[in-house]
Amino acid sequence: MGISNAQYMDIMYQYDQIRLKNHRILEERRAMVYEKIPGIQTVQEQIIQLSADYARSRLFNPDMDGGENSSYTSKKKQLQEKKYKLLTDNGYPADYLSPIYDCPYCKDTGYTNNTPCKCLKQRKIALLYESSNLMDILELENFNTFSEKFYDNTNVNTNLSLTPRQNIIKIKNVCLEYVEHFDETYSNIVFYGSTGVGKTFMTHCIAKALLDTSHTVVYLTSQQLFDILEKNKFGRNDENTSDGQVSYILDSELLIIDDLGTELVNSFTSSQLYNFIEERHLNKRPVIISTNLSFTELRNRYSERIFSRFTGYYNFYMIVGDDIRTKIAIS
C-alpha cells in the first residue's frame, strides 16, 4: 500500500527514537551493574579492546591464518563467559548487558539485508489502517467481542442442516483454526450470505488476530481494490498510486477483499480479478473474500475461468441469519 514520503520519514524517525531509547536503557544498566558488581567493567572493557585489536589486525592483515582467528574466538568466549557468570551470580540475566532491540531481525532499522523488515511493513499497514479508521473497527469487531446470541438457535437451515447459531459457531472455530495454522497451511476462504449476517465481522476477527501476531494484512473493499488497479493500469496521477502499491497488495501475507460483487464488472475488472487470484495462488498468498452473492450468482456474474478458480482454490462458508445490525439497533 502506498504511503507518502512524509509518512515514511516519520516511520524512520520512530526507529531512531527506539534505538535512542534502548541505548539509554543499556547505558543505565551498565552504570548500575558497574557500580554493583566489582570487576565486571574491567571484563567488559577487555572484550571491547580485544574486538578492536582483532578488527585492526584484520584491516592491516586480511590474510590472517586460522590460528589467529581461533585464538581471538577462544579469548573472547572466555571473557564473555566470565562476564555472564558475574551477572548470573549477582541475580542478573546473562544477556543483561547485550544490545536491546524491539525487533531482533532488523535491529530497529526497518531493513534486513536492504530488504524491508516485517516490522516496517506492519508500521506501514498501521498507518493505512489508522487513516481509514479500520483500527477502531478492529477494536470493536474481533474474536473477543464475537457473540452468537444474535443468531437464531431454533430453526434449522435446510441447506446446512444446522441452526444459524450452530453454523456461526462452527465458522468461528474454522476461523480460529485458520489463524492458528496460518503460517503452516495455505488456504483461501469465501464468506457468502445475505446482508448483515456477519461476513465482514468474521474477516475483521481474522485480520485483528493476524495483525496482532505481526502478519501483514491488507484489507480492501472490492471497489477500493479495482480503483487502485484501474489507476495503476491507466497511469492516473495520484500520490498514493504506484506499481509498488499493487506489488504490496500482491505480496501481503493475507489479502482480504470485502463485498466482492459491488464493483462494476467489465472486461478490465474480470481480467484483473483473475490475475490477482492466479498470482496469489501461485505464490501461496492467501485471500479471504466476503460477498453478498450466492454461489449461483457468483457463477453467473464472473467468467467461467474465474469461477473455476474460486471453486478450485477456495473454501466456501455460507453464513445465515437475520440482519444483525437491525437486531442491535432494536436492542
At 282 the pLDDT is 95
Longest dimension (CA), the chain: 83
CATH architecture, domain 133-330: 3-Layer(aba) Sandwich (3.40)
- Whether the predicted pLDDT of 6 surpasses 60: yes
215-237 burial code (b ≥16 CB/10 A, e <16): bbbbbbbbeebbbbbebbeeeee
Q: What percent of the chain has pLDDT over 90?
A: 62
- The residues that bridge with 217 in the sheet, in sequence order, are 254
What residues are paired with 112 via a beta bridge?
115
Report pLDDT digits (tens) over 249-278.
Answer: 888 889 999 999 999 888 888 888 998 899
Average pLDDT over residues 217-238: 76
Q: Hey, what's the torsion of the CAs at 110, 115, 121, 124, to 10 degrees?
A: 70
Could you tell me the pLDDT band of residue 133, with boundaries at 50, 70 and 90? low
The reported pLDDT for the residue numbered 176 is: 98
List the end-to-end C-alpha distance of the chain, in Å, as a whole number. Answer: 39
- Residue 234 pLDDT exceeds 60: no
pLDDT given at position 59: 79
What pLDDT, on the 0 to 100 scale, is given for residue 251?
A: 85
Position with higher pLDDT, 59 vs 139: 139
pLDDT at 212: 82
How many angstroms separate the CA atoms of 123 and 107, rounded? 15
The residue-averaged pLDDT of 64-89 equals 85
Beta-ladder partners of 288: 189, 256
Phi, then psi, of 276 in degrees rounded to 5: -65, -45
In contact, 309 and 270? CB cutoff 8 Å: no
Smallest CA-to-CA distance from 97 within 86, 107, 108 is with 86
CB-based contact 199:317 (threshold 8 Å)? no
Taking all residues of the chain, what is their mean pLDDT, rounded to a whole number? 88
Contact 115, 105 (CB under 8 A): no
Query: Tell me: the pLDDT tens digits for 161-189?
Result: 999 999 999 999 999 999 999 999 999 99
pLDDT at 131 over 60: no
pLDDT at 55 (0 to 100)? 84
Confidence of residue 1 (pLDDT cuts 50, 70, 90): very low
- Residue scoring higher pLDDT (215 or 237): 215
**Domain residue ranges of the chain, discontinuous segments joined by +:** 5-112, 133-330
> Is the distance from CB of 152 to CB of 163 less than 8 angstroms?
yes
d(CA 109, CA 298) in angstroms, rounded, equals: 45
- The β-bridge relationship of strands 115-116 and 111-112 is antiparallel
CA distance linking residue 104 with residue 223, whole number of Å: 38
* Count of beta carbons in the 10 Å neighbourhood of residue 257: 25
Euclidean distance between CA atoms 53 and 68, whole angstroms: 12
Find the mean pLDDT for residues 124-133: 67
Average pLDDT over residues 299-323: 93
- Report, in this order, helix, strand and coil percent for the chain, each rounded to 5: 60, 10, 30
